Amino acid sequence: MNAHLILMGLKRSGKSSIVQTVFHGAEPQNTILLDTTSKPTTFVFRSLIDLQITELPGQVDYFQDTWDDQDINSIMKDVDCVVYVIDCLDEYKATINNLLNVVSFALDNCPHVKIHVLVHKIDGFSEDFKPDIMREIENQVSYLLCEIGHEKHIDYHGTSIYNQSIFEVMSEIISNLVPCLPSLENILNHLVQHSKIEKAFLCDVKTKLYFVTDSSPSDSTLYEVCSQFIDLSVDINSLYLPTHPDDTDSEIQSRKKQQKITSHCTLLPDMKIYLKQMIKSLCLVVYIKDDQLCDSINGQAILNYNAKIFEEGLAKIIDCTNKDPTDYNL
């Protein structure tokens, strides 16, 4: 399963900061020190899907004659998703023109592409103004798009690297690129129904992005607690990994991957978070409200058992999707 995602936006809009915070685990405060990206950079995020992420520098206008036309065509050739970052603290008129160029180019050359606009650095506004800013940008873009005769559904998200929002939005964007998403959602819903779970996430262990969640309404503080719990479990376990004197870094890394952590913690008065590490550096994190199920020895075993069945199902779905890419929904 592969997908290709492009990050665009004017310079200093925060593209590199997003990449560093979300995919490389950098502290948000430290990303102000990053250099300007000067040429397109690509890396592959390997997890449930192998996602190729290309970051285009913002100071180049790709749609001017001076820029080699061939290049942007080859970059955009097999793109599945474009993420456009707008710095909403800045004057965004120039940005919107640039965005319109990107959208019309995308519509002419690869109409199937998904376009997401991140209204970034939104933490600079107070809670009351946030919806206004979002609406203003959204209206302007759709009005101008209409004027040049294009129609395209664009998703808008308010984000900031200083809170959980960038992780949630990136999770949402990436999970839309997972080919077998409906079937995964389906089995996750089954798990939730049969184990008295309130909310479940299928996350990547390293980045804490979630690929699949069940259909119940999501709550960003709950997601934050869950992602912190992944950190806690992995960190505490790694303190007690057996070590040998002649271990290389890669050996330690691979041992960490094979750990297969199963953990759960109790939060008073009646909450419980359960985590199970699965194949492909994924982990299932679930939140349970009803403590009665978990306190008994049987309840715990039922949850473990169901999670194991889920893991088997997950492996089968991934297997099938890899074999026959046309048959996504089994």
Partner 1 sequence: MGRSGSGKTSMRSMIFNNYSANETSRLGATLYVERTEVRFLNNLNLSILDCAGQDNLMKNILMPGNNQLALCQVLIYVFDVSNIEEPKDYITFVDVIKRLNQTSPSCKFFILFHKWDLVMEHEKETAKSNIISALIKSGEEIKFHELYLNGTVKIFTTTIWNETLYLAWSRVVEELVPKANIMKNYLKKISRVLNAKELIIFERKSFLSIVSYSNMFDQDNFYNFNSDRNDGYSHYGVTADRSQKISSIIKTFRKSASYYNGGKFQKLTLHSRSSIIYLDELTDTMAIMLVLPNAMLNESPINQQNINNGNSGNYLQNNQNVSSSTNANENNSMNYNYLNSNTSVKNSFEDSFIGSVIKTARDYFQNIDFGSN
User: Interface residues with partner 1 (CB under 8 A)?
Assistant: 219, 221-222, 224-225, 228-229, 231-233, 235-237, 239-245, 255, 258-269, 271, 277, 297-298, 300-301, 304-305, 308
Which token pair is 224?
A: 């934050």
Q: Could you tell me the smallest distance in angstroms from the CB atom of residue 329 to partner 1?
A: 30
Question: What residues contact residue 288 under an 8 Å CB cut-off, 6+ apart?
Answer: 195, 196, 197, 198, 271, 272, 273, 274, 294, 303
Minimum CB distance to partner 1 smaller for 62 or for 229? 229
Q: Could you tell me the smallest distance in angstroms from the CB atom of residue 161 to partner 1?
A: 15
Which token pair is 288?
A: 């349970």
Q: Could you tell me the smallest distance in angstroms from the CB atom of residue 34 to partner 1?
A: 20
Q: Could you tell me the smallest distance in angstroms from the CB atom of residue 319 to partner 1?
A: 22
SS3 letters for 179-207?
Answer: CCHHHHHHHHHHHHHHCCCCEEEEEECCC
- Return the H-helix or E-strand segment holding 328: none
Minimum CB distance to partner 1 smaller for 236 or for 315? 236
Minimum CB distance to partner 1 smaller for 9 or for 299? 299
Minimum CB distance to partner 1 smaller for 30 or for 38? 30
Q: Could you tell me the smallest distance in angstroms from the CB atom of residue 292 to partner 1?
A: 15
Minimum CB distance to partner 1 smaller for 69 or for 312? 312
Q: What is the DSSP string of 148-183?
A: TT----EEEEE--TTSTHHHHHHHHHHHTT-TTHHH
Minimum CB distance to partner 1 smaller for 107 or for 309? 309
Which token pair is 246?
A: 């002649």
Q: What are the DSSP E strand ranges found in 64-123?
A: 81-87, 114-120
Question: What residues contact residue 124 under an 8 Å CB cut-off, 6+ apart?
Answer: 88, 89
Place of tokens 């492909």: 280
Fill in the DSSP letter of residue 218: P
Q: Could you tell me the smallest distance in angstroms from the CB atom of residue 244 to partner 1?
A: 7
Q: Could you tell me the smallest distance in angstroms from the CB atom of residue 268 to partner 1?
A: 4
Minimum CB distance to partner 1 smaller for 54 or for 262? 262
Give burial (CB, 10 Å; 0-12/13-18/19+) of 112. exposed
